[in-house]
Amino acid sequence: MKRCVRKRGVVGSTTVILGLLLLVWGGFPVAAGEAPPPDSPEMTCYRELARTMVHGAALGLGGLLKGVRSEKERIARIRAFIAPIRFFPDASGYFYVYTFDCVNVAHATQQDLPGRDLSNHRDVKGKYVIRELSAAARSGGGFVDFYWLKPGARGEQKKLGYVEPIPGTNYFIGSGVYLRP
């Protein structure tokens, strides 16, 4: 299957399973470290996979954190949950979690970010990245394009991020796909 198909606004479970199998088997016709062209069927699959992964992680974390009163324990659980997860053929897919006030709670690849308030962080184009991600999450979730440091690359790379609120918390979780320059 070369394309992810959406029916009635929801990704079909068969499509998601096939997409995940393609990722595991390296079935996307994309060289390591490269994202597909922006309007390609493969990019549609990357977008849908990012959305699906974030949605599943948000729901999973919402359940995992339910009833946990200690902020320290909640943060420890979030960090343990997201740390090992990587996806996409080049393993560039990872999760990050912030408070709605733009304080980083956890980041799977940049261990220097947790605890930092990034409300005033601007990307190389001047966009307040975390503010926009927070706004998208507050509205129920959405995509935001921005520039971010890609693990193993030099400088900020263009990225399309997807975020959602974590149910029952004041956090949001996100991921995204790095785009070709």
Of 6 and 151, the structure prediction assigns the larger pLDDT to 151
Q: State how far the alpha carbon of 1 is from the alpha carbons of 51, 53, 112, in Å.
A: 19, 19, 39
Distance (Å, whole) CA 53 – CA 48: 8
| 112: DSSP letter | T
Of 109 and 132, the structure prediction assigns the larger pLDDT to 132
Q: What are phi and psi of 98, to 5 degrees?
A: -135, 160
Q: Is 97 helix (H, G, I), strand (E, B) or coil?
A: strand
Which pLDDT tens digit goes with each residue over 113-122? 999 999 999 9
Q: Which domains does the chain have, with CATH numbers?
A: 6-178 (3.30.450.20)
Which pLDDT tens digit goes with each residue over 135-145? 999 999 999 99
Q: Is-contact 58 164, C-beta < 8 A?
A: yes
How much is the pTM? 0.80
